[in-house]
Structure 1
Amino acid sequence: MSELRYSLAARRDLRDIVAYIAEDNPRAAIAFGERIERACLRLARFPRLGTVRSSLGIGMRVFSVGSYVVYYGPVRKFCNTGIDWK
């Protein structure tokens, strides 16, 4: 399994998203954070699950988690979350 590392931007995004959700529903916020973490661990184990997005950079991929998209690069071994509404 590849090593999982979150970029600084990913940590900030995830913290902000969880805090926003927690304002209305703390349980949902915890569940969301856990869902993202499980998805990222799965991507570390199976890095080719996501869709290639070479327009974002060499080796970059994306993977949907609900209404959010995880951006990651298996070569650099990081998981970057971002808000990208469908």
Structure 2
Amino acid sequence: MRRVVISAPAAKNLRDVCDYIATDSPVRALRFVAALKERCLSLAFHPFRGKPAPEIGLDVRMLVEGNYLILYRV
């Protein structure tokens, strides 16, 4: 199992997304962010399931969650 680290900029982005969604529905915002975090943390068990994203960086991979991209390195 690998260790998952959420960078400070990614954590801020997550808070911003939560704040944006919360303007419509605070409950939905919390659920969405929880699902997004769970998806990120699940990369510890399956780190290569995301698609390579060489247009962003040679060692960058990505997962899609709703309308959002999760970008990460293994």
TM-score, normalisation: structure 1: 0.80
- Structure 2 counterpart of 1:71, which letter? L
CA deviation string 1:1-32 (max 9, x = no partner)? 11111111101100000011111101101101
Output the TM-score relative to the length of structure 2: 0.92
Give the structure 2 partner of residue 43 of structure 1.
43
Aligned counterparts of 1:69 and 1:14: Cα–Cα separation in 2? 11
Partner of 2:29: 29
1:3 and 2:3 are equivalent in the alignment? yes
Any residues of structure 2 matched to 1:43-62 within 5 Å, and which?
43-62=43-62
The match for 1:82 is none
**RMSD over aligned Cα, in angstroms?**
1.0
1:17 paired with 2:17, answer yes
Residue in 2 that maps onto 1:73: 73
Paired AA for residue 38 in structure 2 = R
Query: Could you tell me how far 1:58 is from its partner in structure 2?
Result: 2.7
Stretch moving more, 18-27 or 52-61: 52-61
Aligned residues: 74
Q: Which has the higher contact order (CA 8 A, sep 6+)?
A: 1
Residue number in structure 1 paired with 2:64: 64
Calculate percent identity across the aligned residue pairs: 32
| 5+ residue gaps, structure 2 | none
- Partners in 1 of 2:60 and 2:44 — Cα distance? 13
